[in-house]
Amino acid sequence: MRVSAAVFDRGAVRVEELDLPERAAGQVDVRVDAAAVCGSDLHTVGGARPAPPRTVLGHEGVGTVSDADPGARDLRGTPLRPGDRVVFALYSACGTCDRCARGLEMKCRSVLKYGHEGAARPPHATGTLADTVRLLPGVPVLRVPGWAGDAHLVSAGCAVATAAAVLSAAGPAEPGAPALVLGAGAVGAYCAAMLRSEGRQVYVHDPAPGRRAAAERLGVRTDVPDGLDFPLVVEASGSAAGFAAALGAAETGGRVVAAGAVSPGATEVRLDPADLVTRRLTVAGVHNYTARDFQRGVDWLLGPGQFLDLEALVSPPVPLPAPGEAVEEVFALARGGAHLRVMVAPSRAGARSPV
C-alpha cells in the first residue's frame, strides 16, 4: 500500500509517498478524514525539538477505519471494522513495562509517538498529516458517532486529551470554585471549557485579543479580577513568566497544574522554595495523557462539549498537497495564528485513495 504523508526532512516539509508492507497482526489502518497541526508540529519544523530524519508529521486526527485486525477493539471493547469512524491517541504503549504498570503509559519504555517518528520506523505511516495512518495494537482508539463533525473531533488525540489530563491532575471540583487558566491556545481553551463544564467559575488570561475572544465564546471570563487567589491555576502558556504568574496566583493550599512548557531548556524560572513550602502549594506537571484521560476527553466532546462551538477554534479544511510538493500553506497558516488549529483534509482533497 502506498501512503501520501507530510514528511519533515532537512528543514523542509514535503508530501512523500511511503510504501507500506501488508498490515501486520493487531494493526489498524485509518483513512484520515481530517488532521490538525499542533504546536509541537511547529516546534519540530522550527527546530525547537529534536526530530529524526524524515519525521512523519501530525498526531491529531479523525478518520475512518480502512482495514483492521479482526480482533481489534476500541477502549470500550467495541470491535473495529472497516467503515468505523474513529479518533485515536498519539502514542503506542506496551502495557507491560514498569511505567505502563504505574499508569504512565504515555512515558512507556518503548513508546512510539505518532507525529514524531522517522519514516524508517515501523509501522512507517505514523503521522496524521497523511491520507492514511497505521495504528499499532498499543494505540488507544475510540469509535465516534457520525453526528460529531471533523472540526469538533479533530483535536481529540492531543489538545482535548491533554486538557482532560489536566482535569485529572486538578482533582475533583467544588461547584463555583474559581479556576484560572493562563494561556488560551488549544490546550488552555479546551481546559477552560472543560473546567467550566465541571461547574467551576473559570477565568482565562491571554495577551492576544483573538484568543481571549475565542475563550469568551466558550463561556469563560477573561476579566481576571485583581488580587483574587485561585485554588486551581492551570499554566498552559508555556512561558517562564506564565509559570511564575501561576505560582503567584494560587491561594494558600492551592494547586498549580503546569502543561504548557514542553521544550527542555527553553524556559527557566526563579523560584523561592520557601514560597512553595510556606503556602503549601502543590505543583503537578502534565505531559500527554493516559488512555483514561483520552476517553474522558472524548466523552466530554460527545457530552457537554457538543453544545459548544468548538468548530470555531479550527480553520476551514486545507488540502494536503500532492506527492512531491512542499507543505507550505498549511504551516504558514498555523504560524499565522488566526485559528487555534489549522485543519487539513488529506483524503478529501488532493490526495488519492490509498491503493
Binding site residues, Zn ion, CB under 5 A: 38, 40, 93-94, 97, 100, 108, 158
Put residue 324 in one of left, alpha, beta given phi > 0 → left and psi -120 to 50 → alpha.
left
- Comparison of 1 and 97: residue with beta carbon closer to Zn ion: 97
- Comparison of 99 and 279: residue with beta carbon closer to Zn ion: 99
- Comparison of 93 and 136: residue with beta carbon closer to Zn ion: 93
Inter-residue contact 346 to 327 (CB < 8 Å): no
| CB 99, min distance to Zn ion, A | 6
Which amino acid is located at 36 in the chain?
A: A
- Comparison of 38 and 62: residue with beta carbon closer to Zn ion: 38
For β-strands 282-285 and 178-182, DSSP reports them as unpaired
| CB 109, min distance to Zn ion, A | 5
| CB 51, min distance to Zn ion, A | 14
Burial class of residue 280, CB neighbours in 10 A (0-12, 13-18, 19+): exposed
Angle 6-40-207 (CA atoms, 0-180°, nearest 5)?
A: 130
What DSSP letter does each residue of 12-71 carry, written as one string? EEEEEEEEP-PPPTT-EEEEEEEEEE-HHHHHHHTTSS---TTEE---EEEEEEEEE-TT
CA separation, residue 75 to residues 72, 146, 302 (Å): 10, 18, 15
| CB 110, min distance to Zn ion, A | 6
| CB 254, min distance to Zn ion, A | 27
Q: Which residue stretches of 75-207 are H helix?
A: 98-101, 150-153, 161-170, 186-197
Consecutive H or E run containing 231:
strand 230-235
| CB 140, min distance to Zn ion, A | 13
- Comparison of 130 and 247: residue with beta carbon closer to Zn ion: 130
For β-strands 112-113 and 91-92, DSSP reports them as antiparallel
- Comparison of 203 and 289: residue with beta carbon closer to Zn ion: 289
| CB 315, min distance to Zn ion, A | 16
- Comparison of 78 and 110: residue with beta carbon closer to Zn ion: 110
Residue 351 grid cell:
490526495
Angle 263-137-149 (CA atoms, 0-180°, nearest 5)?
A: 70
- Comparison of 97 and 240: residue with beta carbon closer to Zn ion: 97
| CB 212, min distance to Zn ion, A | 22
Residue 170 CA to its chain's centroid (Å):
18
